[in-house]
Structure formats: structure tokens, C-alpha cells
Amino acid sequence: MARKTPITVAYGDGIGPEIMEATLHIIKAAGARIEIEPVEVGEKVYLRGITAGIEPGAWESLRRTRVFLKAPITTPQGGGYKSLNVTTRTMFGLYANVRPCVAYYPFVKTLHPNMDVIIIRENEEDLYTGIEYRQTNDMVESLKLISRPGSEKIVRYAFEYARSHNRKKVTCFMKDNIMKLTDGLFHRVFSEIANEYPDISNETWIVDIGSAKLADTPEAFDVIVLPNLYGDILSDVAAQLAGSVGLAGSANIGDRCAMFEAIHGSAPRRAGQNIANPSGLLLATVMMLVHIDQPDVATLVHNAWLRTLEDGIHTYDIFTEGVSKQKAGTREFAEAVVARLGQEPEMLKPIYYTSAPEHISSEHVTITRAIEKKDLVGVDVFLDWRGGTPDELGETFKQVSGDDLELTMITNRGAKVWPQGMPETFCTDHWRCRFMSPIRGETVTHEQIIALLQRVANASFDFIKTENLYTFNDKIGYSLSQGE
Amino acid sequence: MARKTPITVAYGDGIGPEIMEATLHIIKAAGARIEIEPVEVGEKVYLRGITAGIEPGAWESLRRTRVFLKAPITTPQGGGYKSLNVTTRTMFGLYANVRPCVAYYPFVKTLHPNMDVIIIRENEEDLYTGIEYRQTNDMVESLKLISRPGSEKIVRYAFEYARSHNRKKVTCFMKDNIMKLTDGLFHRVFSEIANEYPDISNETWIVDIGSAKLADTPEAFDVIVLPNLYGDILSDVAAQLAGSVGLAGSANIGDRCAMFEAIHGSAPRRAGQNIANPSGLLLATVMMLVHIDQPDVATLVHNAWLRTLEDGIHTYDIFTEGVSKQKAGTREFAEAVVARLGQEPEMLKPIYYTSAPEHISSEHVTITRAIEKKDLVGVDVFLDWRGGTPDELGETFKQVSGDDLELTMITNRGAKVWPQGMPETFCTDHWRCRFMSPIRGETVTHEQIIALLQRVANASFDFIKTENLYTFNDKIGYSLSQGE
């Protein structure tokens, strides 16, 4: 008998314990060779004052098992609590969120019977690093971070996934007509890596019009790879278009750990009633079984589940008169799947798993990077100021320029307001003053920036943040202002 | 005879000139009391080397007329060109983008026959301020900015719009479970202002699950107000769900100016063939006629257009065998609308305009703001560093702390890596070091920050940016790290 694979299991909050029990019951009946290490996460842990929502001991278990099967949890409302999912993803480098969005027509209602889309969402970067600052009375800022290794990892994973799952096309969504540097980097990395996979076709869409296309014609897509925020929105849209968010599972794949979960929430109002649909968590568990190299069990479970669906045994959330044959509770649904282990669907396509996509390690990505020549050429100093008009600020602020750093422009919310601003531009109390060397192309030093900040402080201005301006291999590494 | 209203008109690129001619032909035939000031914008202007894509003289015209009717333009590919739309919106404070997304079933194919949603998108802030920096070899950053006055203006506009258009509900989409400060502000402002409109119901959705609901059941929504990026994606999704992006117009409303345009692009490959559908621009022009207080003409044109649609006279993009009766070119379609001026639709609901929604001025919003007590309590110093492990950085960097500012944590892409980081966390070359007073709750000074930066520079570190940490009325104005 094969050695059992230890997995870390969190039963979660709300409907979590019920659907986890149903799921584990099914996979054990199917012969899953696993050893469960239960850990506590979620609401109770938060309310004990642990803002990350996870006991320190749980990290130890995860370090050991490297596999995390997690039921939905409840994050209490109010300040101070961190998203456990975001924390887990970030701490363990779970860079890829994989969500199959598949239609099960005619057994589950959908307007898109032929939909079969895999959404691969970057999982660590973008606006989800959670770095935010309130800087003035008016203004709050959040940082969107996109890195080259982060982009390389997720794009490469998408192409490897496509290859190992016999998919034909990878599509990239981004918005680099507006975010030329951040989304521009994601786009460039996609194009570079796509070239290494001539057997898989590729295309790119600007996210707004691409999203419209997805909502209208999801069957036109195959694998979609995209940055975190777009992926967050569109994976939920795609799951809904396919049928129900309640049926979708997801995998979070990292270098040293992987987490599997349903995409729906903990639904506290449905808890304890034996009515919740375990399918989302079950399909996530099927992905886990593939990941821990038990494709035989994954195949058994997935096909038995498809057959149960086909046989019209449906939980309340997908129950439809005329289509469904029996309204099942959580436990009864699980028993129905167990009873069908070994059977295959007759109308829906059966699934045969072989192996997981090749693992993409960070190390592999890191060594491909070339280090570019970097030069400091200026600084943006941001101010909190309510003292008057942009022209008044410009005149006052020119005084602090000094011989070696020249005030070249002032913007408010990205719009140039000095020199030659438009009187119509509405100004908040959040100003950006750009300083560069008076000699075109000349580099500046950190000491010059420090001396500038000293002059700004001496003039009693509240500088709230700075952003250095760099060139990389003599290419400008900062955006121009609107109206520049 | 009434005085004519001057309007600034840009004929645009690609199919722009054709659909503009058709549109102007229709509204003149309907008796629009307008005087056209043509201006040049778009591709030709860009290629003349004007990165904003608009001639300086055009701004003068806009200042005079305050009304801009604009055909789609082509932005050349490649670096340096700024989005004209973003520039115009920002320079003239066009804070509200209004997009009706209406189904015209059965005359235009849609899966959502009863859809009638107004998307009101914040138009100036969020990631569209275009402030971006490449800071290290690995990392690029974009700033998301959300302001209280910006949020107040757009939310108030949405409720005023709902009231003047006899709408029953305003829905707000945001993501404040992750972006607690930025989207949290938008959510809070929404709740505050919703209280002032007891006659209109209100609701909020987290953007991911709200988007899924919109894609699945758009008829559940009425007016939706949302920050810029979500609005960009979802307004295109909604237009597509309603029928075709080719039929939708939009208004961009500001304090001192308003711009009206189709939501589709310039489609250069369709240009000069008399096939383009002028409906998007025409419906935008109807919104313009309401805006310049010619609701009589707007009503005439809109109903004649609906009747043309009903009569099955369709351009190629919406032509469907069995539904359409006559495939019309751009000019023929315009003539068909002109021939129906004075008629009303028989199956579709006729529209009767009265007046524009009350104007919301920035000044009004500004005076409601209370200035909160602000205290500087620390600083985040960001580094470009490839020297070793997080623990090594922590030990080295503790030396630069000094007596008055203490290193409290280091994060990489938002994840805490010192003290007590996880060895699994993948680290880029982009580090954030948080410094605060060693005495809990003590404020710090700008001079202390400057002295700290001097010590950082002396230790030969490349500090790439700083973000001050403030409290407002003693409430923390910065996020904690993941894992803190």
C-alpha cells in the first residue's frame, strides 16, 4: 500500500465544517491516500486577537505538509483583521490562483453551454500587497506593485498549464494603454514567454473590452492569465457565467506550498442545516489530488461527481424543477457521489487526469533576469498643502529648488497644474512637485534629495512622500504627467 | 428664434468623421439650436509631436463653449502619447462618466431583454492619474489615489441622477475588504451621502461578487456608482450584456465643461466605407442636447432612433436575418432616422426628456470637509537591495535606526519578512522598512526623517521612495503589513 500523503486541513467557519466533512468522506471512500492534520483558522482565531486569523502552530503544519485544504472562513467586520487568504498566499508565495470555470449544461443552468475557461490569476502582487496610506485630509493612496519575476512566474505557469492540460490558447488581459509601466511590464513579459511556446497560440486584450468579450462570448476563451485585481473580478464573473459560483473550486499554487479551496464564502446563515453544496470544495480537492500525484483518485471522484450531477441529484442552490430529480442535503449529496464511484458521466465529458503541470520555481525565474544600469535623475516630492493656487505654490516652491535641483512641474491628482496649468483643474490638498537636474540628462544624488527635503522642511512644508526618478539602461522609468 | 448654443466638435479619426456627419445631420434636421466650432484632435495632432493629442486652440474653444462633442480618435502606438480622453477629463474636471446600458430586445440581440442599467463611473482618480515609477530592476509601481472630495462628487452625482431620472436604487461597488483605506473611503462616503436620499434605496457589493451578479442578472441593478477602474471594466461589460458596445454613448460631466462621445473606438479598418453605426455617437449627442437644455430636440431624436431600430433598419454590426429588414449604410441609417422625426416607437418604451440632473459643483463639496488633526508618527523607507536575506537586511538596517526612530518591520511586496519572517516568502529587490518612535504613540518630525535618510544614504543604501505615516484625529492612517 502506498505511503499516505499528509495534508493540512482547516474546517473553517459557517458551512465550512459540513462541506469539509462531506468532501473528506467522498475522497476517503474513493481511496485517497492522505493523512489529515487539522488546524484552526478563521473567526475564532481572529476573535482571540490574532490579526492574521491563523494559529502559529498551523504554519508549522503547513511547512511540513506543503498542502493546505481549506474550507471557507469568516473574517470579522471592522479594522485590524488581515485577510487570511492574502496572508497565506503571500507568506507561502502562492503565486498562481487557478480557477476552472466550466459549464455543466443542461444539468446546471447557464447561458453559455460550451464554456470551458481556465482563469489563471496572479496572486501576490498588484493592489493586493495591502500597502495603503492616508496622506492628507483629502487623499488616500494604495500602491499597485507589479514585478518582473512575479509576472514571469504567473505567465510561465499559464503556458505550462495549457501544455499539460492540452489547451490550445493562452489569453492575457491588461490595461497598458493607461498603466504603461506596470501593465506594460506584464504585457511585455507575456509576449516574451509566449514566444517560447510556439505550440500554444496567444492573444492579448485590453481588460475592459476583453471583459466585455468574456461576458458576451466566454466560449471564445481557453486559458486566461491576468494580474491580480482583474483576475479577482473576472474569475468571479466567469464562474457565474459558467453556472454557479457554488460549483467552482480553486487552487493556489506556490513554490513550496499549495492551497485548495472553494471560491464561495462561509455563508453563516446557511450553516448547520445540512443544505450547503460541497461541490466547490470537492472540485478543489480533486485539484489537490492531482497535485499530490493521486490522479487515479482524482479521476474517480470527478467522474462520480459529474454522474451525480447528471442523475439530477442536486443541492438547493442549483435545484431546478424539470431538470433536477432529487433535492439532496449536504450529506445525502456526498453519499450519492460515493455510490457512483467507479461510474462515468454519460452526457457530460468524463475526465482522465494524468499529472500536474510542471512546477515553476522562483529560482528558475530569478536567474533569467539581467540587471540593468540604473541612474537617479530626479525626485517627486509630494506635499499636503491648502495654502492657495497652483501658481502660488509654484512661485513659492521655486525658491527651494536650489542650484542643483530644479522644479520642473507640479501636478494634482496626476494633472499638470504648474507651469501653465488650466484654471479649471480641481485641486485637492495632495500635490506632487517634480525636481530634476537643471542640466538635461544629468544624474542627481541621494544627498541632493536629502538637502532638497531639508529646504522643503525649512520652508515649513509638510512633505508626505517622495518617489525617486530613475532611468534604466538610459530609458525613462517614470511616467509623464497628464497635460505634459 | 432661440439663441444658438455653441458647441465644440471634434470629427476624430477612422470612422469618426462619417458618424459625426450622420449625427449632426440628424440633430440639425430635428431643429437643434447649435453652433458648431470644429477643432482638431487625435492622430494627426499626436503625429505632429503634441503628446496630449489636442491643439492648444482647442482648449480655448472648450473654455468658451463648455460643451465637447467628440468622435472616436486613434492614439498612435508607442511611448510618449498621453490618452486624450484622460487628459481632457482631468484638465476640465470631468468627474462623472455616465453610461446608459439599455437592452433593445427583440430588435437587438441580448440575453438580458429587461436590462436598463446606468453606470456612473468616477472619472479622474484611482489608477488613472497615471503616476507610475520603475524603482528597481524588478519592480514597477502605480499609484491608486482616492480622495474624499472626488468620492463625494461622484456619489452625490449618482444620487442626483437617480432622483432626476426617476430611478429607484443606487448600488455601489468597491473592494474594501482588501483596500480598506482607499475603497474604504469610497464606501464610507457612499453610506454618508445615501443617508441624505431616503427616497432612493441603496446597496453595496464587493466588486468581484457584484460583477458576477451583474454578468448573471443585470436586470437586478438600476444605477451603479463605482471607482474609475471597476467602472472602466464593468461599463464595457454592461454595454456588451445590453446588446452591443456599438450602440452606447456616454457623457463626461464636469464642473465647468462636459464631453459627449460614443464608447467604441475609431475602427480604422471600417473607415471610409459608409458602413459604421452612428448610434453610439447619436445617443451621446442626445445626452448632450439634454445637457444644453434642449430636451425637446433630444426627445425627438431619441424616439425617431428607437423607431428606426424597431422598423428593422440596421447597420451591419447589429444586422440579424429574420429580425432586421434592411441593411443600411451610415448615411442611409441617418436618413431613416430623419424620416422618422416626430414618430415614436411602438413596442419599445418612448422617452420624454425634461431636464438635466442638478449640477454638483466641487465648491459645494469642498466646503463640507472638516479638517482633521494630523500627526506624523513614522515613515516607510523603500530600498532597492539585492544584498542578502531579510534577516541580514534587518540586522544591518537596525544600525541606522538611531535613538529617535526605530526599525519596526521590513516587508517585501507587502509581506512581513523581518522580524520573524517566513523563509518561504519569495523576495524581490524592492523592500519597505518601517520606522517609528521607540516611545509608543510619540510623534516624529520631518527633521528626524531627513536625518534618518542621511544615515541610510551614509550606509550606501539606495532609498527609492518614502511614505510618511500619519494619524488623523488619533486614528491610524496607514495599513499594517500582511503577517503583522
Q: Cα separation of A356 and A344, whole Å?
A: 22
**Inter-residue contact A276 to A270 (CB < 8 Å):** yes
Cis peptide before B100 (omega within 30 of 0): no
pLDDT attached to residue A95 = 93
pLDDT attached to residue B360 = 53
**Cα dihedral value A230, A233, A239, A240, nearest 10:** -140
Contacts of A245 in chain B (CB under 8 A): 209, 212
Q: Is the CB of residue B46 less than 8 Å away from at least one CB of chain A?
A: no
B374·A137 Cβ contact <8 A: yes
Q: What kind and span of H or E run contains A415?
A: strand A415-418
3-state secondary structure labels for all residues of A285-347:
HHHHHHHCCCHHHHHHHHHHHHHHHHCCEECHHHCCCCCCCEECCHHHHHHHHHHCCCCCCCC
Decide if pLDDT at B246 tops 80: yes
Q: Is the CB of residue B92 less than 8 Å away from at least one CB of chain A?
A: yes
Q: Is the CB of residue A372 less than 8 Å away from at least one CB of chain B?
A: yes
B414·A145 Cβ contact <8 A: yes
Q: Which residues, 6 or more positions from A88, have their beta carbon under 8 angstroms from its beta carbon? A: A54, A62, A68, A70, A94, A252, A259
Percent of chain B with pLDDT over 90: 70
What residues 220-279 of chain A have any CB closer than 8 A to a CB of chain B? 229-230, 232-237, 239-241, 245, 254-257
Please report which residue ranges of A421-472 form alpha helices under DSSP H. 446-458
C-alpha cell at position A124: 501576490
Decide if pLDDT at B252 tops 90: yes
B428·A147 Cβ contact <8 A: yes
B212·A450 Cβ contact <8 A: no
Which sign, positive or negative, has the C-alpha torsion B448, B450, B454, B456? positive
**Inter-residue contact B439 to B364 (CB < 8 Å):** no
Q: Cα separation of B371 and A5, whole Å?
A: 59
Q: Partners of B117 in the beta sheet? A: B101
A446·B430 Cβ contact <8 A: no
User: How far off is chain A from B416, nearest CA to CA, in Å?
Assistant: 8
SS3 A140: strand
Burial class (CB in 10 A: 0-12, 13-18, 19+), A211: buried
A130·B75 Cβ contact <8 A: no
CB count within 10 Å of CB B94 equals 24
Q: Partners of B205 in the beta sheet? A: B173
Q: Is the CB of residue A219 less than 8 Å away from at least one CB of chain B?
A: no
Q: Cα separation of B69 and B219, whole Å?
A: 30
Q: Which residues, 6 or more positions from A165, have their beta carbon under 8 angstroms from its beta carbon? A: A118, A357
Contacts of A182 in chain B (CB under 8 A): 132, 140-142
The band of B367, judged by pLDDT with boundaries at 50, 70 and 90, is: very low
Q: Cα separation of A76 and A60, whole Å?
A: 24
Indicate which of A65, A138, A362, A478 best probes the interface with B, i.e. most B CBs within 10 Å of its own CB: A138
CA-wise closest residue to B323 among B335, B313, B336: B313
**Inter-residue contact B141 to A143 (CB < 8 Å):** yes
When CB atoms are compared, the residue of A139, A147, A472 closest to B147 is A139
Q: Cα separation of B470 and A300, whole Å?
A: 56
What residues 129-148 of chain A have any CB closer than 8 A to a CB of chain B? 129-148
**B116-122 vs A313-314, strand pairing mode:** unpaired
Contacts of B422 in chain A (CB under 8 A): 59, 91-92
When CB atoms are compared, the residue of A135, A241, A424 closest to B93 is A424
User: DSSP string covering A334-394, please?
Assistant: HHHHHHTTT---SSSPP-----PPPP--HHHHHTTPPPPPEEEEEEEEEEE--SS-HHHHH
pLDDT attached to residue A328 = 96
Q: How confident is the prediction along chain A (484 residues), in pLDDT tens digits per residue?
A: 568 999 999 999 999 999 999 999 999 999 999 999 999 988 888 888 888 788 888 888 998 999 999 999 988 876 677 777 777 877 788 999 999 999 999 998 888 999 999 999 999 999 998 899 999 999 999 999 999 999 999 999 999 999 888 899 999 999 998 899 999 999 999 999 999 999 999 999 999 989 999 988 999 999 999 999 999 999 989 988 898 678 999 999 988 889 999 988 899 999 999 999 999 999 999 999 999 999 999 999 999 999 999 999 999 999 989 889 999 999 999 999 999 999 999 999 999 988 755 555 544 455 456 899 999 999 999 999 998 999 999 998 888 887 789 999 999 999 889 998 888 788 999 999 999 998 888 999 999 999 999 999 999 999 999 999 999 999 999 998 765 5
Distances (CA, A) of A458 to A221, A291, A399, A455: 58, 60, 11, 5
Which amino acid does the sequence have at A423? P
Mean pLDDT of the residues in chain B: 91
Q: Cα separation of A279 and A409, whole Å?
A: 57
B308-313 LR contacts (CB < 8 Å, sep 24+): B308/B333, B308/B336, B308/B337, B308/B340, B309/B104, B309/B107, B309/B108, B309/B345, B309/B348, B310/B107, B310/B345, B310/B346, B310/B347, B310/B348, B311/B336, B311/B340, B312/B107
B230·A230 Cβ contact <8 A: no
Laid out side by side, the sheet with B132-134 consists of A132-134, A139-147, B139-147, B132-134
Contacts of A63 in chain B (CB under 8 A): 424
Contacts of B369 in chain A (CB under 8 A): 137-138
A463·B446 Cβ contact <8 A: yes
pLDDT attached to residue B480 = 84
When CB atoms are compared, the residue of B256, B369, B426 closest to A93 is B426
**Angle at which helices A279-291 and A16-29 cross, to 10°:** 50
pLDDT attached to residue B82 = 75
CA-wise closest residue to B9 among B34, B43, B45: B34
Q: Is the CB of residue A451 less than 8 Å away from at least one CB of chain B?
A: no
Contacts of B454 in chain A (CB under 8 A): 447, 450
Q: Cα separation of A259 and A153, whole Å?
A: 17
**Inter-residue contact A173 to A205 (CB < 8 Å):** yes
Contacts of A87 in chain B (CB under 8 A): 482-483
A430·B384 Cβ contact <8 A: no
Contacts of A177 in chain B (CB under 8 A): 75, 83
C-alpha cell at position A271: 450553516
Q: Is the CB of residue B87 less than 8 Å away from at least one CB of chain A?
A: yes
CA nearest to B75 within chain A: A177
pLDDT attached to residue A483 = 54
Chain mean position to CA A450: 37
CA nearest to B173 within chain A: A233
Average pLDDT in the B266-277 region? 94
A145·B140 Cβ contact <8 A: yes
Q: Cα separation of A148 and A125, whole Å?
A: 11
Average pLDDT in the B306-310 region? 96
CB count within 10 Å of CB B366 equals 16
pLDDT attached to residue A365 = 52
Contacts of B229 in chain A (CB under 8 A): 175, 229
The band of B422, judged by pLDDT with boundaries at 50, 70 and 90, is: confident
A450·B462 Cβ contact <8 A: no
Which amino acid does the sequence have at A454? Q
Distances (CA, A) of A58 to A34, A207, B26, B263, B335: 18, 38, 69, 50, 72
CA-wise closest residue to A233 among B178, B246, B243: B178
Contacts of A426 in chain B (CB under 8 A): 93, 95, 124, 149, 255, 362
A137·B472 Cβ contact <8 A: yes
